């Protein structure tokens, strides 16, 4: 299965993507995670991405498209993948269509997670991520058993630099302007599945699995 999961910052894409990847045995390809990994390792790509990420802006299309193209050509993506956080602009979606056509592939479904704006801010600001393994928690809705420490590996949890309230607001604006038009783009292609992301983590997961199993 070849999937895209989209939605505003804090909607729950990463959380649901981890579940879907496991349920359907496909790799979870998150452009945000790729950038954060590069940032942590101090690579030139990481340093470049940081300039945009910390301001809540999108990394330029050419940079992101090149990374995704590269990642999709890996062996583990041959039988399917789940793209999380990509595409984020119509130009990226068109580039993705081109890349997939060249590989004789196409997207099966695009999951779009809808969540009211007030809820998004609370989710993103309360998000905590593991400094070591990258697992995501929430201070209120998905808290670790020991405060500030990862259940999976015991490392310290931190707030993402771009999860401060002002930056989250900017990211939501960027989503509305640059990413939301993709809903019409994929709807016209008959690929869109809208998911009500306003419910709890488990309930949203059940909706997604049901929709994909149809
Ligand atoms: P995204 O990848 O879309 O930015 P995440 O999956 O990282 O979103 O979720 C953002 C924050 O909200 C995280 O702290 C996560 O634990 C929490 N979260 C995700 N889904 C839900 C949900 N359905 N209800 C409450 N909190 C959620
Ligand atoms: P969220 O899950 O909260 O939506 P991500 O982890 O997907 O955030 O992305 C974090 C940041 O990484 C974005 O704000 C942006 O700066 C950059 N980024 C990730 N994916 C893309 C993309 N497809 N195009 C441009 N920038 C991206
Ligand atoms: Zn961890």
Q: Which helix (H) or strand (E) holds 196?
A: strand 192-196
Q: What's the CATH code of the domain at 192?
A: 3.40.50.300
36 is catalytic: no
Q: How far is the CA of 88 from the centre of ligand 1 (A)?
A: 18
Query: For the chain, what is the domain count?
Result: 1
In this structure, of 90-94, 130-134, 177-181, the range with the lowest mean pLDDT score is: 130-134
Residue of 36, 88, 123, 128 marked catalytic: 88
Residue of 71, 123, 127, 128 marked catalytic: 127
Q: How far is the CA of 200 from the centre of ligand 1 (A)?
A: 9
Q: How far is the CA of 32 from the centre of ligand 1 (A)?
A: 14
The Cα–Cα gap between 84 and 64 comes to: 12
Kindly state the average pLDDT of the residues 28-38. 97
Six token digits for residue 112: 């779009």
Atom of ligand 1 lying closest to residue 11 CA: 3
127 is catalytic: yes
50 is catalytic: no
Domain that holds residue 199: 2-213
Asked if residue 188 has pLDDT above 90, the reply is: yes
Total residues found in the chain within this entry:
214
- Residues 49-76 have pLDDT tens digits of 999 999 999 999 999 999 999 999 999 9
pLDDT value of residue 197: 98
- Residues 111-152 have pLDDT tens digits of 999 999 989 999 999 999 999 999 999 999 999 999 999 999
88 is catalytic: yes
Grouping H, G, I as helix, E, B as strand and the rest as coil, residue 49 is helix
Kindly state the average pLDDT of the residues 185-208. 98
Tell me the pLDDT of the chain averaged across its residues.
Answer: 97
Q: How far is the CA of 192 from the centre of ligand 3 (A)?
A: 33
- Sign of torsion, CA 161 164 167 173? positive
Give this prediction's pTM.
Answer: 0.97
Lining ligand 1 with CB less than 6 A are 7, 9-15, 123-124, 126-127, 136-138, 141-142, 200-201, 204
Atom of ligand 2 lying closest to residue 8 CA: 4
Q: What percent of the chain has pLDDT over 90?
A: 99
The Cα–Cα gap between 17 and 14 comes to: 5
Contacts of residue 163, Cβ cutoff 8 Å, sequence gap at least 6: 124, 125, 127
Asked if residue 214 has pLDDT above 90, the reply is: no
Q: Determine whether the shortest distance from the Cβ of 35 to ligand 2 is under 6 A.
A: yes
Kindly state the average pLDDT of the residues 105-114. 98
pLDDT value of residue 123: 98
């Amino acid at each position: 299965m070849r999937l895209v999961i989209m939605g505003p910052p804090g909607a729950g894409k990463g959380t649901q993507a981890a579940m879907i990847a496991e349920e359907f045995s496909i790799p979870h390809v998150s452009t945000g995670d790729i950038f954060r990994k590069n940032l942590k390792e101090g690579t030139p790509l990481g340093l470049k991405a940081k300039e945009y990420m910390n301001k809540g802006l999108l990394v330029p299309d050419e940079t992101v498209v090149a990374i995704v193209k590269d990642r999709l050509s890996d062996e583990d993506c041959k039988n399917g993948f789940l793209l999380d956080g990509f595409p984020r602009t119509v130009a990226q979606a068109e580039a993705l269509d081109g890349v997939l056509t060249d590989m004789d592939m196409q997207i099966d479904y695009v999951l779009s997670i809808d969540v009211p704006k007030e809820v998004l801010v609370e989710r993103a600001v309360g998000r905590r991520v593991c400094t070591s393994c990258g697992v995501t928690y929430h201070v209120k809705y998905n808290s670790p058993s020991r405060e500030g420490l990862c259940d999976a590996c015991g490392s310290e949890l931190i707030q993402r630099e771009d999860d401060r309230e002002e930056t989250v607001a900017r990211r939501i604006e960027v989503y509305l302007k640059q990413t939301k038009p993709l809903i019409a783009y994929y709807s016209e292609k008959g690929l869109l599945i809208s998911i009500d992301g306003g419910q709890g983590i488990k309930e949203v997961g059940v909706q997604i699995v049901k929709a994909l199993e149809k």
